[in-house]
Chains A and B, each alone.
Chain A
Amino acid sequence: MSSLINTVCKNHSLRAIALSGAIATCFVRVAYCQNAELHAPSGAIAGTQASIGTTGSGSATFYLQGPSTSAKRKVELGQDIPLTPKELQSAGRYIAVVCSDSCSSATFFVSPAKPSSLAFLVHPSRAPVAHNDVVSGVALPFDEFHNLVLEPVPIQFQLTAKSGSPTTHGTPTHGGIAWFRTSSGNSAGPLQVVASINEITAKRVVQQVASEACRLRIKGQRTPKGIVVETEPVRDCSGNPVPDGTIVTFTAKSGNQISFVDAPVKQDVARATMTAKGPVVLSAASGVAMGNEIRIGD
């Protein structure tokens, strides 16, 4: 059958499927014949060598099926069957089957190796300043074979704002995951977030950005082209300048006529030209912030 499989199945994936079918057939046979004995390894670690003890004598066919492995080879009963590190790279449940006159099987588990990398996700990439529980991060340790390390592992989260001392928070993983949630600071700028296990680190940066405009003051004057109106530097309630591009809506009321200009903030100031004629009342708004009103005559 093996030669048939080898002949028919040229590519490896098809071969693995066919081999799995063969192993399944063996399980049917195992149900009727339980004479041979296998001694599965205990405490096997991913990527390390292990062996399976056998009883009896003579040659037999050995099958191994794991999360991402299937193998078949001739073995001698009564001797240990060596399992190579490559065969045990994936953590999880393995099934070993030996068939001669009859078949025997054993199951064993392979645990992940020690952590070698961290998957670290931080959300959001932009966070407004002075907001509670707005920044969160999740770290997942993986071994060198990309197995999620399920054993509790202590992870250190370190947050460093542009102007401020770093804050550190340590927590062990639960079921392979550790997380934190924290508030944003009062100053806009990059917030570096580092997750680490011993020498393994992963760095992410969250941009802390200004919140909504808090105070809005405008000034204006009439020119030959119209009324030039501009804001004083627009800042949020923590004193951070609002990001460039933030829209400020200027309104000019002249009698029963209204004029609007949506002008973007550039270098802290929004500026617009209104073509309203006659005496006008100018005001401005950005988000929830309302500015002062100014009156300009003819």
Chain B
Amino acid sequence: MKRALPFVILVVAVTVVLMIVGLTGESRYRKTVGITSGSALPGFTETPSTPEKALANLMIDIQRRNWDRAYSNIERTSDSLTEQAFREQWTGTNGGLRSFSSLERYEARPLHATDADAQMRVRLHWATPVGPVEDVRDFHLVHRGEVWKIVWGEIPAANLPAQIVPVNYLRWDLVSGNAGEEWGSRNVDAPHVRIVSMNAVDTAQGAVVMGEVVNEDTVPAFVNVGATLVDASGNAIDDENSFDKILHVLLPRQVSPYRIDFPKISLNKVKNVRMDTKATLVPASSDPVIGVMNQKLDTDAQGHTVLHGELFNESGQVVNIPHVIASFYDNTGKVVWVSDGYVEQALLPQSSESFAVEIPQSLAGKVQNFHVVVNQYSLQKS
């Protein structure tokens, strides 16, 4: 026993040293020159003696939801920014997608740095109920004494004034006949929907089938589009459906893009594509009407071609999670790409939120026109 004691003490001491080194030392992710990254690892926050450390501290505090410290370590440009407003900029409000998200990891890259200030670009990776969402933000940092601080210039959104918004939109209910009625007397046909265009392309991720579908009927339709890839011998290779890349509830004469992804399948093997459209009668409402304003094709800070614009909620109802689906056309009017994206902030009544959806670089030159529809998820409806 006496012989074993020094060995136990040695093991404990080495373990403690290694823990301290592990928690305070440089991460292996920081070996790439110019790029810092992190995730929700436990550890001590360091003194923000460099812009990278200041930013890392903020990100760690956000991951841990340590709002007091995060708020105290920023330099505010506006006195109207309260801690709660700062917190809501990260956690979201009104049941928006951000409310259900958490910051999984980030990658930071310096844009420029002097002794007095620095500009950092951060790619934020959020885990959300609709899948991973990336967000790119630029931060301005300044040197204050011995530490660096993040300048927080974002002004909190103005509170929505109390108001009454008259709602007089349409609503469709379904009445189904009872079983005792005469056979054939209460048949109501399923809505008539039609695929108006279809295009299949190969991408690095696999085959993509996309196009547009229209409700040609006079009643709302719940629509889903499926596709089956068939090889030369007539056997089905795979079948998928449009899942969330479609506007499912289509009002009369409304057109929706659809996109069906076939991961890891090349079109070289495909001889034929069988399309299948399913439409059913559903209760529906034409409220809320969401306008897609000020759309413009542009190049973002990372050099990607994006379509950005603003969603304007014309109704009096909060749209918790707006979902933008855009179809892009070439000069012959053919759909060459369908892209989608979720807006992380809730869309409040009579107010706007910006959106952006990306176009693959290889197709950016072909795009001549576009059409955007907005899917909306409201907590009070579900």
Contact = CB atoms under 8 A, between A and B. Distances in A.
B181 to A, nearest CB: 12
B124 interface: no
A68 interface: no
A263 interface: yes
Interface string B304-326: 00000110101000000000000
A126 B218 contact: yes
B164 to A, nearest CB: 15
A126 B254 contact: no
A243 B218 contact: yes
Contacts of A202: 182, 184-185
Interface string B353-382: 000000000000000000111000000000
Interface string B33-64: 00000000000000000000000000000000
Interface string B207-231: 0000000100111100000000000
A243 B289 contact: no
B293 A275 contact: yes
Contacts of A254: 294
B293 A126 contact: no
B291 A275 contact: yes
Interface stretch (A43-51, A77-85, A92-100, A117-125): A117-125
B184 A245 contact: no
A124 B309 CA distance: 42
A269 B371 CA distance: 23
Interface in A205-251: 209-210, 212-213, 242-247
Given A209-B218, A210-B218, A246-B253, A274 B291 contact: yes
A29 interface: no
Contacts of A212: 253
Contact of A259 (B168, B189, B294): B294
A286 B253 contact: yes
A123 B310 CA distance: 44
B220 A262 contact: no
A264 interface: yes
A25 B261 CA distance: 62
Interface residues of B, number: 37
A275 B312 contact: yes
Contacts of B220: 245
Contacts of A107: none
B295 interface: yes
Contacts of A126: 189, 217-219
Given A260-B372, A264-B169, A119 B217 contact: no
A263 B217 CA distance: 16
Contacts, number: 107
A281 to B, nearest CB: 14
Contact of A247 (B184, B254, B352): B254
Given A261-B291, A272-B314, A125 B187 contact: yes
Given A120-B184, A246-B218, A286-B253, A260 B169 contact: no
A200 interface: no
Contact of A261 (B182, B252, B289, B296): B289
A213 to B, nearest CB: 8
A264 B170 contact: yes
Q: Chain A: interface residue count, which band?
A: 35 or more
B310 A275 contact: yes
Contact of A262 (B289, B293, B296, B310): B289
Nearest to A255: B296
A264 B284 CA distance: 12
A170 B145 CA distance: 100
A119 B183 contact: yes
Interface string A105-146: 000000000000001111111100000000000000000000
A274 B289 contact: no
A259 B291 contact: yes
A273 interface: yes
B292 interface: yes
A135 B110 CA distance: 69
Contacts of B185: 202-204
A11 interface: no
B170 A276 contact: no
A33 interface: no
B192 to A, nearest CB: 8
A119 B184 contact: yes
Contacts of A287: 214, 253
Contacts of B294: 254, 257-259, 275-276
A261 B293 CA distance: 8
Contacts of B254: 247, 262
Contact of B251 (A119, A122, A203, A246): A246
A264 B286 contact: yes
A266 interface: yes
A245 to B, nearest CB: 5
Contacts of B182: 202
A256 interface: yes
Contact of B170 (A119, A204, A244, A259): A244
Given A120-B184, A262-B254, 17 more contacts: A119-B184, A122-B187, A126-B217, A203-B185, A246-B251, A247-B251, A252-B293, A257-B294, A259-B294, A259-B295, A259-B309, A260-B371, A272-B289, A272-B314, A275-B310, A275-B352, A287-B253
Interface of A: 119-126, 202-204, 209-210, 212-213, 242-247, 252, 254, 256-264, 266, 272-276, 286-287
Interface of B: 168-170, 172, 182-185, 187-189, 214, 217-220, 251-254, 286, 289-296, 309-310, 312, 314, 352, 371-373
23 contacts: A119-B183, A122-B187, A123-B187, A124-B189, A126-B189, A245-B172, A245-B220, A245-B286, A246-B251, A246-B252, A246-B253, A247-B251, A258-B294, A259-B309, A260-B295, A261-B289, A261-B290, A262-B251, A262-B254, A263-B289, A264-B169, A264-B289, A266-B169
